[in-house]
Amino acid sequence: MSQNRTRVVTVGEVMIELARGADGRFALSCGGDTFSTAIYLARAGVPVAHATALGDDIYSDQIVSLATAEGVGGDLVLRVPGRLPGLYLADSGANSAPLFHYWRDSAPARSLFELPDWARIAEGLLGARMVYFSGITLSLYSNEGLGRFLAIVELARQQGAMVAFDGNFRPRGWTGDVGRIRAVFMEALKRVDIALPSFDDEALLWGDPSPEVTIERLQAFGIREIVVKNGPKGAVLAAAGQQHPAQQHAHVPVPEVVVPVDATAAGDGFNAGYLAARLAGQSPLDAAGAAHRLAAQVIRHRGAIMPRAEGAVH
């Protein structure tokens, strides 16, 4: 496990993406929130692997090939014979807001921690420098799968791994009442070191009236580093133990307001920019600036993953 201690392991789902282009036609690609973050981390030079499950079909092969080409480790991708990855269709609504339609109920990623070889995923997480997952990740698993996953995250953290989490709440991905959803999130938040939520999601799930209230609620779980993304309004940062008082609770504006071509994966790019900068030793304030810059690049392109030539973090 020691050989992998330098890398980030992202956990979640990779789906086939059909995204409408500027010409009105749909193009075939792939996407998934934590997978997109993994790719942007890899482009920033961060050693990273993605933990998920795929089928044995040609589309799953193409996803693995893309991950390999992007430098994302594929040793934590389990392959399930006879299964197909999930599919989503991405279109644009009013003001370029993305509209999504999903076909994913039987995707193998949902069974990741119940597959025969799930211990391989556990070993990879226990050897990670950082474990990164999202609220969408949590929505995938059964109660048994969630129990295993959160137990592994807790053990990895005890062994020295950092844990980063984006709340990324999507109501359609959950079954059950709000009480259960909040209970799952609270169990996850007890294990988090860096929280990277979007305010809109927090307001929807928790009723938070402001990013500052979100920060206070997350700090109650002992989370010492929090960045609340708030779209064109910038981000609000709270990081304990910083030398400069301004960094303990600061509003970080976007460098420039960009009219999005497609807002898909803006938050995923932001998270990658932030974590890459922090892993490189930058301060939280500087990391938030880097995150804004990468997110601004991402929303200038259609689809979750922008052209590789423009994928560097600056």
Find the CATH number of the domain harbouring 220: 3.40.1190.20
Annotated catalytic sites, by residue? 268
- Domain count of the chain? 1
Q: What percent of the chain has pLDDT over 70?
A: 85
Distance CA 74, CA 268 (A): 19
How far, in Å, are 59, 91, 192, 238, 249 from residue 291 at the CA level?
Answer: 31, 25, 19, 15, 17
Reply yes or no on whether the pLDDT at 38 is more than 80: yes
Q: What is the pLDDT of residues 117-141, one digit of tens each?
A: 999 999 999 999 999 999 999 999 9
The confidence score (pLDDT) of residue 253 equals 76
305: containing domain: 2-310
Tell which wins on pLDDT, 247 or 22. 22
Tell which wins on pLDDT, 260 or 26. 26
| Half-sphere exposure of residue 282: CA atoms within 13 angstroms, side-chain side | 17
How far, in Å, are 83, 147, 152, 283 from residue 196 at the CA level?
Answer: 32, 22, 21, 15
pTM for this prediction: 0.91
Reply yes or no on whether the pLDDT at 250 is more than 90: no
Average of pLDDT values for 137-163?
Answer: 97
